[in-house]
Amino acid sequence: MPYLGSEDTERELRRALCNPHIQSDPLRYRNTVLKVLRAMSQGVDVSGLFSEMVKACATADIVQKKLVYVFLCSYAALNPELSLLVINTLRKDCQDPNPMVRSLALRNMTNLRLPSLVEYVEQPLTAGLRDRAACVRRVAVLGWAKIHNLQPNSETDAAVVNELYTLLRDPDPVVMVNCLRALEEILKEEGGVAINKPITHHLLNRLKECDVWGQCEVLRVLQRYRPQTEDELFDILSLLDASLVSPHPPVMAATLSLFLGLCSALPAVGLAALERVRAPLLTACGSPSREMRLTALCHIQLLLRSLPGLMGAHYKRFFCGYAEPAYIKQRKMQVLVELVNDDNVSMILDELRGYCTDVNTDTAQAAISAIGGIGRSYSDRCLEILTGLLGLKQEHITSAVVQTMRDLVWVCPQCSDTVCEALEGCEDTLQDSQGRQALLWLLAVYGERVSSAPYTLEVFIDGVRSETSVGVKMELLTTTMRLFLCRPAETQDMLGRLLHYCIEEETDMCVRDQGHLYYRLLHRGIEETQKVLQGRRSDPSLGVLIGRPAEPVSQWACSFNTLDPLKQGPVETEPPSRGSPEHVTFDPKPNTDLSETLDCSQIMKLHSASDRASGCSDSSAEGLAS
């Protein structure tokens, strides 16, 4: 058909649909109807052809009927007056001897979604529930759910509900599952379909007859049932045993979720069920579907919280493939961290070291973070790898390594000597704000042991006017203050310049407020400043971490086979923080001029007064360190 406007196209199609020569040729008539649908799919308004398409529905050609029904359902809402013609045609088709035509007519009758036509639809749907053909009963059952959705406030006929309950014993398994779905929708306000012992055992005995979707639906509904006796519980578990190792991951996950709900009072049985699903989960991790692989990995992370050694012997299955997307690689690396033990730590670290130079920066940084996670148990080996990566002088690698070292020294203080040695000269490679903040945090905590710390801070302070990150500026303020307490002679000039900039020139209120805070804090004296800033560097009770204590299954069982595992990230320990053991509050003097510039001489006077009070000389700056 040549390109025409909307009106010209409609006129040409109407002429073709009304042509008796085309109507007498079934193939040409079907092709004309197909042209109408093609124009509709391209955005052309062909609603004016509604009457002609209703006439085209009177045919024995099932393909043409399907095409016409698609058109009628799309434009029925725009032609509510003419929709009665459609209903009459569909009701006539509901009595056709061909069951395919009857099911097709019922489906499209409920797809019209017009409240004014509900009274004409109820009688064919009721007859459809008793139809001899299973395909018609399937459509009729779901049709009642559509009618209820169309009029949710209307009272549902009790006879229809009883009929649907009766059809739960229909010989066709699809009809049975459709009844469950329809009753769930119709009885939503009453809590859904009522599940008792006879219905439960009937559904379980017929579970193998259903397809994958049907089995998942049945298992989901059965989660509301609680056995009355222990014997009944084990009977149900015996019926579920075969589905627990199903080759279909959705069925396996739904069965395990039901298993865990039933065995909440029997933790040993729940752990045994987790052992049994190991093989299906590993199979799902090798699925061609990326979505299935990601879902399996997320659920494996849940299982490892209660059984840390569940996948320990199969750690190689979680090595990353070259063509895998970055989000799957990152999940696999998180799982590898959970599977590390004395036997496989060398191979896993070698594998992760290879990922650190991946062309994808997110993958490389995730690998470095994973090495840092392993470093909490095997710090010496991991620090050797991290230090070697700093020699590559690549921006994203250096940033990730510095952030990982910051996290590592918080939980493993014994690593601080190696980290301090590795920090020398890495500031030249850092460009992103997260990496610079991590470096400044390390200098604030271990600045007295890093010889080049004042010179590194001076570079940051000289470029503070061109700094765009508020987080870096606030971290720089705290780092300079803490370094002043332990190395005052080298940092007094820098601190004065930085406070002057933050109070007088900075436009961000957070940075200005922090500058005012430190200005007032220095006026309170060195001792008050030390109480606030010289907090604990890490928890002394933390040391080398060997594994993680197993969690009870009940803590995560409710989120299994849901979207929650996909939204959750890796399990983290306490994040790095300055962690002051106590928060000291103070009130500034009422007559303090906050706009007054704090110059170097004032800072030096404060420091000298503190030295005299404590009996320290100017050359003994270490006396102020905590």
pLDDT over 60 at 601, yes or no: no
In a domain, 140, yes or no: no
- In the predicted model, what is the mean pLDDT of the chain? 84
- Please report the pLDDT score of residue 537 as a whole number: 56
In a domain, 205, yes or no: no
CA distance 453 to 160: 80
User: How confident is the model over 420-431, as a mean pLDDT?
Assistant: 86
CA distance 238 to 259: 11
pLDDT over 50 at 603, yes or no: no
The region of weakest confidence among 303-312, 353-362, 387-396, 534-543 is 534-543
pLDDT over 50 at 581, yes or no: no
pLDDT over 90 at 621, yes or no: no
Q: What percent of the chain has pLDDT over 70?
A: 87
pLDDT (tens digit per residue) in 283-339? 999 999 999 999 999 999 999 988 888 898 999 999 999 899 999 999 999 999 999
In a domain, 526, yes or no: yes
User: How confident is the model over 604-620, as a mean pLDDT?
Assistant: 38
User: How confident is the model over 369-393, as a mean pLDDT?
Assistant: 92
For the chain, the domain total comes to 1
Task: Please report which confidence band the pLDDT of residue 536 belongs to, taking 50, 70 and 90 as the band edges.
Answer: low
Q: Which amino acid is at 268?
A: A
- Please report the pLDDT score of residue 333 as a whole number: 96
572 vs 464, residue with greater confidence: 464
SS3 content of the chain, % helix, strand, coil (to 5): 70, 0, 30
Maximum mean pLDDT: which of 165-179, 401-415, 549-563: 165-179
CA angle 487, 488, 494 (to 5 degrees): 105
515 vs 621, residue with greater confidence: 515
The set of residues, in sequence order, having a beta carbon less than 8 Å from that of 230 and lying 6+ positions away, is none
pLDDT (tens digit per residue) in 129-149? 999 999 999 999 999 999 888
The region of weakest confidence among 221-230, 267-276, 566-575, 586-595 is 586-595
User: How confident is the model over 100-105, as a mean pLDDT?
Assistant: 91
Look up the domain containing 498 and give its range: 432-539+574-626
User: How confident is the model over 199-209, as a mean pLDDT?
Assistant: 94
How long is the chain?
A: 626
Task: Please report which confidence band the pLDDT of residue 623 belongs to, taking 50, 70 and 90 as the band edges.
Answer: very low
Task: Please report which confidence band the pLDDT of residue 590 belongs to, taking 50, 70 and 90 as the band edges.
Answer: very low
- Please report the pLDDT score of residue 208 as a whole number: 93
pLDDT over 60 at 421, yes or no: yes
Count of alpha carbons within 13 Å of 317, Cβ hemisphere only?
19
Q: Which amino acid is at 153?
A: N
pLDDT over 90 at 583, yes or no: no
User: And the tokens for 174?
Assistant: 């699809």
User: How confident is the model over 152-173, as a mean pLDDT?
Assistant: 89
Q: What percent of the chain has pLDDT over 90?
A: 53
Task: Please report which confidence band the pLDDT of residue 588 belongs to, taking 50, 70 and 90 as the band edges.
Answer: very low
- Please report the pLDDT score of residue 539 as a whole number: 53
CB 243 within 8 A of CB 212: no
Q: Which amino acid is at 338?
A: E
In a domain, 17, yes or no: no
pLDDT (tens digit per residue) in 490-514? 999 999 999 999 999 999 999 999 9
- Please report the pLDDT score of residue 569 as a whole number: 59
pLDDT over 90 at 604, yes or no: no
In a domain, 608, yes or no: yes
Closest CA to 275 of 263, 265, 286: 263
From the number of C-beta atoms within 10 Å of its C-beta (0-12, 13-18, 19+), residue 285 rates as buried
In a domain, 204, yes or no: no
- Please report the pLDDT score of residue 156 as a whole number: 74
CA distance 53 to 47: 10
User: How confident is the model over 182-192, as a mean pLDDT?
Assistant: 90
- Please report the pLDDT score of residue 568 as a whole number: 66
pLDDT over 80 at 579, yes or no: no
User: How confident is the model over 380-398, as a mean pLDDT?
Assistant: 93
pLDDT over 60 at 626, yes or no: no
In a domain, 425, yes or no: no
- Please report the pLDDT score of residue 45 as a whole number: 86
- Please report the pLDDT score of residue 85 as a whole number: 75
pLDDT (tens digit per residue) in 26-72? 899 999 999 999 998 888 888 888 888 888 888 888 899 889 988 98
- Please report the pLDDT score of residue 595 as a whole number: 37
- How many helices and strands in the chain, by DSSP H and E? 32, 0
Question: Per-residue b/e over 201-230, b at no fewer than 16 CB within 10 Å?
Answer: eebbebbeebeeebbbbbbebbeebeeeee
The region of weakest confidence among 77-86, 208-217, 313-322, 396-405 is 77-86
In a domain, 602, yes or no: yes
- Please report the pLDDT score of residue 535 as a whole number: 65
